[in-house]
Amino acid sequence: MLLRLPLILLFVASLFSDTKDVFTQIVDLERKPKTSMDEYVKEVKQIKNFIIKNEKSDEQKAYEIFSYAFYHFLNLYDFEFLLKWSEKFLKNRKIKKDISLLYYIQIRIFNSQNNTEMLSKIFKETDKMKQGKLLNSINEIQNWYKTNKGKLNQF
């Protein structure tokens, strides 16, 4: 039994080191000046692949990385990936983190696509929310949307 303990500890450490490496990669993307767009795209793709790879084994970890790096996907206009994964995380009831971010991402994307029908659906969902880090931002967007009679703006 004592011989197995180091192997178990090594396995657990390797799981956490992968996550730490991804968070470090995200922070490095924010700190260092982008030397080339190709390099930036390559690093964001690595983060994307990490999320996809870990989704089945640890969806909570995948969500945390997604929520930490979502704006890099916005920068690259990777709307398909953002919509797919925000919808997937919204449907998963195991996610115990703040889901206002997921709605905020969808609002930003559907606004850029002038998709008023989807915006209306999302606003109905967010009306039910009691708390969330981005709930104030969502409410401001919704109020602007209502006062301007559905005319969209880039916010």
* DSSP per-residue codes, 133-150: TTHHHHHHHHHHHHHTTT
CB proximity list for 122: less than 8 A, separation 6 or greater: 103, 106, 107, 110
When pLDDT is cut at 50, 70 and 90, the band that residue 141 belongs to is confident
Q: Which residues of 30-68 are buried (b: 16+ CB within 10 A; e: fewer)?
A: eeeeeeeeeebeebbeebbebbeebbeeebebbbbbbbe
Alpha carbon 82 to its chain's center: 7
In this predicted model, which residue has the larger pLDDT, 1 or 136? 136
- pLDDT tens for 6-47 read 333 333 334 444 555 776 766 666 666 656 777 778 888 888
To the nearest whole number, what is the mean pLDDT of the chain?
A: 74
How many CB atoms lie under 10 A from the CB of residue 105?
A: 24
Has this prediction a pTM greater than 0.85?
no
**What is residue 18's predicted lDDT score, i.e. its pLDDT?**
56
Maximal CA-CA distance, the chain: 69
